[in-house]
Amino acid sequence: MLQDGNPAELFEAKGEELWKKPRGPKNASLEKCDLGKGPGVVKGAFVELPRHFKDTNKVQDLESRLITCMQTLQGIDPKEIIKGQWGRGERANTTALATWIAAQSKGMAFNLPQSHAQERTMYEVGKRLFFQRGGPHDFACASCHGEEGKRIRLQDLPLLTKAPGDGVGFAAWPAYRVSNGQMWSMQHRLNDCYRQQRFPEPDFASDVTVALGVYLGVNAKGDKSAVPTIKDDPLSRLRRLPPRGQRLWPGQARSTAFWRGLLRGHRYWLKAQRISERNMSS
Ligand code: HEC
């Protein structure tokens, strides 16, 4: 199946099964989970998250909301997710669930609510976090994502202080990353960007990550979600090679193995891309 399908589809299928299957100490499914549009309503929920929820009196993103539902409906301990590891156990299940739920809003435009006071506060907090400098390089999110046409290590960096376009930035995650063969949720994306910033990792689903989600999500208003996307065409790096004689990055030799690896990755990416487009139009 992996050879023929968009690899993200495996995670979608797993997410749908996890939504419908009775699980956990309470042996219940998640079909009564309220993602903001009423119990069990999945379509359109993703493009309005993070939002304020009455029952928890908190602004929650998709993943922190899933933690609430898994706890209240199924009796699953939130610690299993919050203290868990990427790609393992209940945290991996949360990523699969987020992938399937997000995919049900594919092509819909982001329209986060800002009517509740807490939603507006979280936007302001997210904005401050976005511009907060620190760490050994004195970086903020804005250092890498605050200007048009910026690049790092040969990757394009989208400007995230306004709507970056359909399927870019906030509208692109969860995404399947060809480079490491993993499905990454927005929580994982943000965590990795803090790592790039050499900041301590934020806790999974913590208020910091939700506030950043509100800031990015509100800024993305009108952009259409393309989730789940496929990221990192290895060959796209070639278009941005430094001048001859310069190394791609420290220690990177232009060896035969390097070119072979790039081509293999590119062929795989092309295939995944074709299948994804076919699914979009069907
Ligand atoms: C040191 C540079 C750097 C910093 C600082 C940084 N990022 Fe990133 N960010 C990246 C890179 C590299 C990518 C991957 C781009 C790609 O895959 O083409 C990325 C991707 C993203 C994306 C997905 C963009 C897309 O279109 O797929 C989001 C959203 C994002 N970063 C948010 C943040 C936030 C929020 C912060 C602050 C907590 C932050 N970043 C800090 C380098 C950085």
List, for residues 177-227, the tens digit of each pLDDT value: 877 778 999 999 999 999 888 898 899 999 999 999 999 999 999 999 988
Task: Using the mean position of ligand 1's atoms as its centre, give its distance from the Cα of residue 192 in Å.
Answer: 8
- Kindly give the number of the ligand 1 atom that is closest to the alpha carbon of 168: 26
Residue spans of the domains in the chain: they are 7-103, 117-229, 234-281
**CA–CA dist 116, 217 (Å, integer):** 15
Number of alpha helices (DSSP H) and beta strands (DSSP E) in the chain: 9, 7
Q: Is 206 helix (H, G, I), strand (E, B) or coil?
A: coil
**Protein residue with its CA nearest to atom 31 in ligand 1:** 193
Is 120 a known ligand-binding residue?
A: no
Architecture in CATH for domain 7-103: Orthogonal Bundle (1.10)
CATH assignment of 117-229? 1.10.760.10
| pLDDT tens digits, 27-44 | 999 999 999 999 999 999
Task: Using the mean position of ligand 1's atoms as its centre, give its distance from the Cα of residue 163 in Å.
Answer: 15
- Angle, helices 7-20/256-281, rounded to nearest 10 degrees: 50
**CA–CA dist 34, 18 (Å, integer):** 15
Q: Is 123 helix (H, G, I), strand (E, B) or coil?
A: helix
Q: Is 124 in the pocket of ligand 1 (CB under 6 A)?
A: no
Is 96 a known active-site residue? Answer: no
Asked if the domains at 7-103 and 117-229 fall in one CATH topology, the answer is yes
Options 10, 193, 248, 275, the catalytic residue = 193
pTM given for the model: 0.85
Using the predicted structure, report yes or no on whether residue 154 has a pLDDT greater than 60. Answer: no
Burial (0-12, 13-18, 19+ Cβ within 10 Å), 230:
buried
Element (H, E) at 175: strand 175-177
DSSP 92-150: HHHHHHHHHHHHTTTTPBP-----SHHHHHHHHHHHHHHH--BTTTTB-HHHHHSSTTE
DSSP 8-state secondary structure symbol assigned to residue 28: B
Is 141 a known ligand-binding residue?
A: yes
Task: Using the mean position of ligand 1's atoms as its centre, give its distance from the Cα of residue 2 in Å.
Answer: 28
Is 237 a known ligand-binding residue?
A: no
